[in-house]
Each structure stands twice: as structure tokens, then as C-alpha cells.
């Protein structure tokens, strides 16, 4: 579903640890050419997810990054899950956008 957004070239969704819900869906996104990783792009993708997916499938977190792949080109989701599970300090990690960071999403 995320691939239908104009800014998304590739995406993979894995569970991300959450202190309240135990785990929430997190998308790792490779942007299409001409799109920059920014809060505006993240908001647009999160809003698209909110408008087109059931509430339990909705993306709660988003990170822009290259995706690890096998030799045959398949996305290595297991590697993304391990990185997310073992993610050390959130302060030094790559920028993660959360649904809670955007007041515009709370009003809907």
C-alpha cells in the first residue's frame, strides 16, 4: 500500500518495540527520485497510511534509509527487525518520525 504513495520507491514494514503497545508498525522507506527526507514528506506518508489502511495496520513510525537486500534483490526484513529490536540509543540513531510528532494527525 505504501508503494502507491508518489514519494515512495521501496518500503518494508517491521514491528518496532513500544512501551505501551509492545510493538507498533514501523516503515523503512526509500524515497523516489526528486523527493527529500523531511518532516513534510514523513507527514505526507503517515497521512496516506492513515487514510488508506485499517487502524491496526497503520504505520506509527517511519525512517528513511536504504534497505538491506539479498543477492537476488529481496528485502532482508529479518535484518531490519533485528536492528529495530537491538536499536541502542534513540538519540544517536537515524531520524525516526513518529505519528505522535505530528499534531495534524491527532486531530483526525
Domain count within the chain = 1
C-alpha cell at 89: 540509543
Average pLDDT over residues 77-94: 78
CATH number at residue 12: 3.30.300.30
Q: In this model, does residue 92 exceed pLDDT 60?
A: no
pLDDT of residue 66 exceeding 60, the answer is yes
Contacts of 50 (CB under 8 A, 6+ apart): 58, 99, 105, 108
Query: Which pTM value belongs to this model?
Result: 0.88
Spatial CA neighbour of 55 closest among 97, 11, 20, 99: 99
Which of residues 63 and 106 earns the better pLDDT score? 63
For residue 87, what pLDDT band results from cuts at 50, 70 and 90? confident
Give the domain range for residue 72: 2-106
Amino acid at each position: 500500500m505504501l508503494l502507491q504513495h508518489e514519494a515512495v520507491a521501496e518500503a518494508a514494514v517491521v514491528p518496532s518495540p513500544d512501551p505501551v503497545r509492545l510493538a507498533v508498525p514501523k516503515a523503512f522507506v526509500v524515497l523516489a527520485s526528486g523527493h527529500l527526507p523531511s518532516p513534510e514528506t514523513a507527514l505526507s506518508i503517515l497521512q496516506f497510511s492513515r487514510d488508506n489502511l485499517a487502524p491496526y495496520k497503520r504505520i506509527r513510525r517511519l525512517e528513511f534509509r536504504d534497505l538491506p537486500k539479498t543477492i537476488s534483490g529481496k528485502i532482508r526484513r529479518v535484518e531490519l527487525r533485528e536492528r529495530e529490536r537491538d536499536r541502542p540509543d534513540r538519540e544517536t540513531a537515524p531520524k525516526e518520525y513518529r505519528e505522535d510528532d505530528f499534531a495534524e494527525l491527532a486531530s483526525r
